[in-house]
Structure 1
Amino acid sequence: METVKPTPIAELRPYTKAENRKISVCRIWKSSIPTSDKKYVTFHCILMRPNVKNNAVEAYASNIDYEVVASKIQAGDCYEIMNFRTIKIRGQYKVVPHDTQLIFTNKTVL
């Protein structure tokens, strides 16, 4: 059996398989459709390695996976995460300097 090492945030790259653990959620925000009755459609959060400064990455869950992911995660808590995807974040949407964005789905383990 192969031992899987965690991938440090600084080494995450878009479109590559990565494993990560001990992530701290430092901020969460939810987007809604203005015309709906506060129905949230996307979930975003900023993840950091505990005790490591200037090493943050954004994570995202779409409307399909919003409720599943949002029910498993809270700001201020630490998690081990597995089964996520990575993409290159568009420049206009960047909230942290990292070029990679994590995509959480209903298969993501927190």
Structure 2
Amino acid sequence: MALSKRNREHLCPHCKEVAIVYTSRQLSELVTEKYLKCSNIECGHGFVVSIGVVRTIEASLMPKADLHIPLVERRANDIVVERIATVPNQLGMAHRRLPVPVQRHAGTMPTRARH
């Protein structure tokens, strides 16, 4: 299932137009199915995608004791995502999400930058 890089949307596998999620259901703690419909009325393809957690590449800071997801080393083709820190705004009502810089060293797992 391809995702549009610009919008991170699902694309129809037939015509490559954006597909719209119209419902989803949680099959387990680690697996969700999403039901989609192609936005191209000339195509009209309806399909289901399955999204599942398959491995951990950076351990959770709040792990659940009863949830077991394999922790593996990053692969060469893994997408590196920076950890997001939340900080309260000045009004204290909402939180802003700020990226935490990740230091990358050849052949090793990224680590959080030290301040």
TM-score normalised to structure 2 length: 0.20
Richer in helix (by share): 1
Richer in strand (by share): 1
Greater RCO structure (CA 8 Å; 6+ sep): 1
